[in-house]
Chains A and B, each alone.
Chain A
Amino acid sequence: MGPRLRGDDSECVENIVVISGTRPLRRWHWVHKWSSIVCTAFMLMLCITGLPLIFHHEIDDLLHEEVKAAAVPAGTPAANLDQAVATVLAKFPGQVPHFLIWDRDEPDALMVSIGPSINASPVDNRIARVDVHTGAFLDSPDITGRFTYFMLKLHTDMFAGLPGKLFLGLMGILFCVAVVSGVVVYAPSMRKLRFGAYRKDRPRIVRRLDVHNLAGILLVMWALVVGFTGVINTWADLVLKAWQYGQLAEMTAQYRGREIPAKPTPVQDAVDVARKTIPHMQVAFVAFPGSIFSSKSHYTVFMRGDTPVTSRLLKPALIDAETGKLTDSRDMPWYVSALFLSQPLHFGDYGGMPLKIIWAILDILTVVILWTGLYLWLKRRKPATGAARAGTPAGARPIEGQVVTS
């Protein structure tokens, strides 16, 4: 058993739950308690799986061999894209290209996403890496056996697909509710305490409360932003569907009902046209005709800017795959931009290694908040084991026994 509560500890117990609180305050306590209880187990899982994901590049580099692209002098021109695709398809006969992806963090490699047919779900696509400059095939690792993949699946949908994602999004909303209500109940708890008070000579429950309050109030903004951007990310599939059936359908309306051209124009030409149309941006992503991010008659070339913000925002250019001409190019709607911008704010990958380390420490502090919160709840549920002072004079401050039942 921990130390017994001292004579004036009834006062600090009062700080734990304000018995004398007004009705709205009690409601906030109720909200904080229940939103936390429901989401805590999942939030603990998300914090623990999220921690290695902050460093997924570094972990993958460490655990898995990767064929590196050839070192070339700056300014070396890129290889022809159609040749690069042909090289990949020669390695994987019968497959068709869905997407070309240029990773922001790995400018020397081009990723070719291929599937068994153009209608196959791209979720099961294989990624082949190609040297951007030489066009040589690098490798095509199966990432599904990797530690980071396992963590990512747990973190994003718990291997339960879209329902799993949306469920975790709901937990994220509850987490945000817990943070906001936590700020409200912080006030009565700190009425008689200085900011940052840590009463290290008091019983464990008081110390845990102080740690919970301190870490909680210090991390409010970060936790809210990372929590809510996480929620937005769970809607990614829905947002992209909305874009497909909204803006993309609108831009390709006059092509509806057409079939994929038998001999589409070279993808290199499509990329060149897009570059010429939007010269101040770089190519980030190409969707082949018939894939989910394009129409049957178009290449969609997604361009990105070069600042931390604009490199996250994509601008599609639609290139007719029969004539090779640009048919339309618009900025993506706000809800897609919101999704793209919420990604760095959730991942913490936009300020170099120092920011990743800070992200990791803040993640661990969130575990501390969740853990101490859980501890406080469990301790208060049990009848006060010897903590409540016997023989409290009538009319004295509330003691823990009463706190328990509140």
Chain B
Amino acid sequence: MTNARARRQTLAQIFRWPLAIGVLSTVGLISALVGDGLWDAVSWLALLLPILLYGWFLLRPRR
């Protein structure tokens, strides 16, 4: 858990998170097109996620 290096992973393991983020991004891209207000907010959150993850993975303290 503390090491960035894992055992050899399967394709399913490698793409589990990317797939989830891809689906959320798609939801975010479409959501603001569908409506205003809440739909916009869903869009902001879903598309903010990759940005936050990028920052988190680069800046997280060493364990």
Contact: B5 with A358, CB < 8 Å?
no
User: Residue among B22, B29, B36 with the most chain A CB within 10 A?
Assistant: B29
Of the residues B36, B39, B57, contact of A196 by C-beta under 8 Å: B57
Q: Are A362 and B4 in contact (CB under 8 A)?
A: no
> Among residues 272 to 328 in chain A, which have CB atoms less than 8 Å away from a CB atom of chain B?
307-309
Known: A193-B4, A195-B16, A215-B54. A308 touches B34 (CB 8 A): yes
Residues of B within 8 A of A307 (CB): 34-35
Instruction: Select one of A221, A352, A361 contacting B22, CB under 8 A.
Output: A221
**How far is A217 from B51 in the complex, measured between Cα atoms in Å?**
12
Contacts of A309 in B (CB 8 A): 33-34
Q: Is A382 an interface residue (CB 8 A)?
A: no
A86 to chain B, nearest CB (A): 37
Q: Please tell me if the beta carbons of A192 and B18 are within 8 angstroms of each other in the complex.
A: no
Across the interface, which residues of A come within 8 angstroms of B50, CB to CB?
Answer: 218-219, 222, 362, 365
Would B11 and A198 count as touching, CB distance under 8 A? no
How extensive is the interface on chain B, given as a class?
A: 35 or more
Residue interface mask B11-41, A partner, CB < 8 A = 1: 1001111100110011001001111100110
Which of B5, B14, B26, B34 is the one whose CB lies under 8 Å from A187? B14
- Distance of A341 Cα from B22 Cα, bound (Å): 20
Interface residues of A in 343-385 (CB under 8 A from B): 344-345, 350-352, 354-355, 358, 361-362, 365
The answer to whether A225 and B29 have CB atoms under 8 Å apart is yes
B27 CB to closest chain A CB, in angstroms? Answer: 10
Say whether A38 faces chain B, with CB atoms less than 8 Å apart.
no
Contact A218 B15 (CB under 8 A): no
With both chains docked as a complex, state the minimum distance between the C-beta of A281 and any C-beta of chain B, in angstroms.
17
- Name the residue in B9, B18, B26 with the highest tally of chain A Cβ atoms < 10 Å from its Cβ: B18
A53 interfacial contact with B, CB 8 Å: no
Q: Which residues of A contact B54 (CB under 8 A)?
A: 214-215, 218, 365
Whole-angstrom distance between the alpha carbons of A217 and B42 in the complex? 21
- Minimum CB distance partner of A341 in chain B: B33
A221 near B25 (CB under 8 angstroms)? yes
Q: In the bound complex, what is the Cα–Cα distance between A335 and B50 (angstroms)?
A: 31
Within 8 A of B (CB), among A153-212: 183, 186-187, 190-200, 211
Among A195, A308, A309, A365, chain B packs the most CB atoms within 10 A around the CB of A195
Say whether A358 contacts B22, CB under 8 Å.
no
- Asked if B33 contacts A192 (CB within 8 A), the reply is no
When the two chains form the complex, which single residue of B9, B18, B33, B47 contacts A217, counting CB atoms closer than 8 Å?
B18
Report the interface size for chain A: residues with CB under 8 A from the other chain. 39
Q: Are the CB atoms of A308 and B32 closer together than 8 Å?
A: yes
Is there a chain B Cβ closer than 8 Å to A220's Cβ?
Answer: yes
Name the B residues within 8 Å of A345 (CB-CB): 29, 33
Chain A residues closer than 8 Å to B43, beta-carbon distance: 351, 355
Q: Is the CB of A196 within 8 A of B35?
A: no
Given contacts A193-B4, A194-B4, A215-B54, contact A350 B15 (CB under 8 A): no
Measured between beta carbons, the chain A residues less than 8 angstroms from B56 are 196
State which of A222, A225, A352 has its C-beta within 8 Å of the C-beta of B40: A352
**Closest beta carbon of chain B to A305's beta carbon, Å:** 12
Asked if A195 meets B18 with Cβ closer than 8 Å, knowing A221-B25, A362-B50, the reply is yes
* Residues of chain A contacted by B32 (CB below 8 angstroms): 308, 350-351, 355
Instruction: Name A354's contact: one of B8, B35, B44 (CB within 8 Å).
Output: B44
A187 to B16, CA, bound (A): 11
Cβ–Cβ contact A193 & B5, under 8 A: yes
Alpha-carbon gap, A362 to B28, bound state (A):
13
Does A195 lie within 8 Å of B17, measured CB to CB? yes
**What chain B residues lie within 8 Å of A352 (beta carbons)?**
40
Q: Give, as a whole number of angstroms, the nearest-CB distance from A402 to chain B.
A: 21
Q: How far is the CA of A199 from the CA of B14 in the complex (A)?
A: 17
Bound CA span A388–B50, Å: 35
A192 touches B44 (CB 8 A): no
Q: Are A358 and B4 in contact (CB under 8 A)?
A: no
Nearest-neighbour CB distance to chain B for A307, whole angstroms, equals 7
Who on chain A is nearest to B56 by CB?
A196
Complex Cα gap A214–B4 (Å):
13
Bound together, the chains give a CA A308 to CA B40 distance in angstroms of 10
Collect the chain A residues with CB atoms within 8 Å of residue B57's CB.
Answer: 196-198, 214
What are the 6 tightest A-B residue pairs by CB atom distance, in nearest-first order? A351-B32, A221-B25, A196-B57, A218-B50, A197-B4, A195-B17
